[in-house]
Amino acid sequence: MGYRVKTVSAMTGIPRPTLLAWERRHDILEPSRSPAGYREYSDADVAALRRLKALVDSGYSIGESVELARSASPPPSREPVRAPPMVVAEPLFADHGLVVHAILRALLAFDRATADRLLPKLGQVSFAVAIDRVFVPVMYALAEKCDRGEVSIAQEHFVSGFCREHLLAMYHELGGGPEGGVTVACATPSGERHEFGLLVLALKLALAGHRVLWLGIELPTADLCAFLAAQRPRFLCLSFTGPIAKEELVRFGRSLREGAPADTEIVFGGPGVHDHVGTLAEGVVVFGTVAELEARVGRAEPESWRSRVVREPRASG
Ligand code: B12
């Protein structure tokens, strides 16, 4: 025994005519019929309709929602399925997992058009949500596939290039964060081309109101030192993905320290230096997480205040 259309409409919040139109036009469900010919919906049908409704509420057209649900779900079983207990209210964008899966799937097939079509809906969520719930999960899902040897180099470049492009567009839109905030320069050292983690970090700092100078990848040490001496940022953040021995890291930290102004804190982080978390030398520290770094930068005094203190003439006595 299943649910009648009126009940399903009340359970899902989809008006009866809309539900019947979706069913007719998009071939989404095939409810069974009672002996008297009435439609009868199963728990699985109700669950599927709820997912579609959540996607439509998030801004997708019904056609896109159906495409998303199809690309992310296993083929529907003909057997009646016991659905999980009902959830009364679906939070907005509840189905971001579907979006992540569908975007990755499209990109792995080099189908940028579909991935782009799915992304504009992100206009409805904040940058922070887009980073944490879409781009980072897409990259972690790619990383897992990479580690299992399931993706080609071309696929890896295509997916990471797509994410990088969108994150850099966010950085551009934020203007690198407000003038007068604590200045944080971000780069990777020579030989390190992985920049995605650093980009995430840079965006989070800019979103938190700090001033981020994005220097990009593979900065030679001498150029970094010249930059630090001239620009005097409050923090320099370097990201390491490839592993590096502690002694070498300490040596590198010290050489940067010698070339940097005394009030620039040097911060290292990333998977390559996770084993060395802690203070490496005076003014050189390895942080394990972006949150720790955010907390540290948050405690530093704003640049505008610092420059006032430095530049304001002293009252003569
Ligand atoms: C994407 C990718 C690439 C892209 C990078 C694109 C780009 N523009 O960034 C490209 C194609 C360029 C690339 C190249 C290579 N890659 Co690669 N790559 C990856 C992949 C799939 C994902 C990495 C990623 O972006 N992760 C997602 C981010 C969000 O995570 P994350 O970096 O850890 O960052 C988080 C934290 O660590 C932290 N964090 C990061 N930095 C910092 C800094 C500070 C200060 C703080 C506080 C925190 C912090 O914040 C982030 C958010 O939480 C990984 C797979 C894997 N398992 O990781 C391989 C992987 C990292 N690559 C690997 C290798 C070997 C290479 C190559 C050498 C391959 C080759 N033979 O050419 C090259 C060259 C690398 C080089 N010279 O630097 C290996 C590294 C193995 C190792 N331990 O050395 C991995 C693990 C793949 C594997 N299983 O073999 N790669």
Amino acid at 147: D
Mean pLDDT is lowest, of 16-25, 90-99, 194-203, 255-264, for 90-99
Task: Please check the confidence at residue 313 and state whether its pLDDT lies above 50.
Answer: no
Most confident of 95-99, 136-140, 313-317: 136-140
Element (H, E) at 239: strand 235-239
239 contacts 287 by C-beta, under 8 angstroms:
no
Average pLDDT over residues 49-71: 79
Measured CA to CA, the distance from residue 317 to residue 310 in angstroms comes to 18
* CA–centroid distance, residue 94 to ligand 1 (Å): 29
Q: Do the domains at 95-174 and 175-310 have one common CATH topology? A: no
Average pLDDT over residues 303-308: 48
Task: Please check the confidence at residue 169 and state whether its pLDDT lies above 70.
Answer: yes
Class of domain 175-310: alpha beta
The DSSP bridge partners found for residue 266 are: 236, 284
> Higher confidence at residue 142 or residue 173?
142
188 contacts 155 by C-beta, under 8 angstroms:
no
Task: Please check the confidence at residue 282 and state whether its pLDDT lies above 60.
Answer: yes
Q: Identify the three-state secondary structure at position 186.
A: strand
* CA–centroid distance, residue 179 to ligand 1 (Å): 31
**pLDDT at position 15:** 87
CA torsion 222-223-228-234 (nearest 10°) is -110
Nearest CA to ligand 1 atom 11: 157
Average pLDDT over residues 190-195: 95
Task: Please check the confidence at residue 63 and state whether its pLDDT lies above 60.
Answer: yes
- Would you place residue 73 in the very low, low, confident or very high pLDDT band (cuts 50, 70, 90)? low
Q: Give the mean pLDDT of the chain.
A: 83
Q: Is the CB of 178 under 6 A from ligand 1?
A: no
Q: Residue with structure tokens 């992304």?
A: 119
> Higher confidence at residue 229 or residue 302?
229
Q: Is the CB of 139 under 6 A from ligand 1?
A: yes
Task: Please check the confidence at residue 82 and state whether its pLDDT lies above 60.
Answer: no
Instruction: Give the total residue count for the chain.
Output: 317
211 contacts 177 by C-beta, under 8 angstroms:
yes
- Helices 16-26 and 62-72: angle between axes, nearest 10 degrees: 60
Average pLDDT over residues 218-222: 93
Domain ranges of the chain: 1-92, 95-174, 175-310
* CA–centroid distance, residue 196 to ligand 1 (Å): 7
Measured CA to CA, the distance from residue 167 to residue 218 in angstroms comes to 19
> Higher confidence at residue 229 or residue 65?
229
pLDDT, tens only, 247-262: 999 999 999 999 899 9
- 236: phi then psi, degrees, rounded to nearest 5: -120, 120
**pLDDT at position 120:** 62
* CA–centroid distance, residue 291 to ligand 1 (Å): 19
Which CATH number is 1-92's, of 2.60.40.1190, 1.10.150.20, 1.25.10.10, 1.10.1660.10? 1.10.1660.10
Pocket probe for ligand 1: among 107, 193, 194, 264, the residue whose CB has the most ligand atoms within 8 Å is: 194
pLDDT, tens only, 15-26: 888 988 888 888
Return the percentage of the chain with pLDDT > 90, whole number.
Answer: 46
What CATH number does the domain located at 95-174 have?
1.10.1240.10
Element (H, E) at 48: helix 43-57
Average pLDDT over residues 288-308: 76
**pLDDT at position 93:** 46
DSSP sequence for 155-173? HHHHHHHHHHHHHHHHHHH
Contacts of 58 (CB under 8 A, 6+ apart): 92, 93, 94, 95, 121, 124
- Would you place residue 150 in the very low, low, confident or very high pLDDT band (cuts 50, 70, 90)? very high
Determine how β-strand 265-269 pairs with β-strand 235-239. parallel
Count CA within 13 A, CB hemisphere, residue 50: 21
* CA–centroid distance, residue 195 to ligand 1 (Å): 7
- Would you place residue 124 in the very low, low, confident or very high pLDDT band (cuts 50, 70, 90)? low
Measured CA to CA, the distance from residue 183 to residue 234 in angstroms comes to 5
Q: Is the CB of 214 under 6 A from ligand 1?
A: no
DSSP state of 125: S
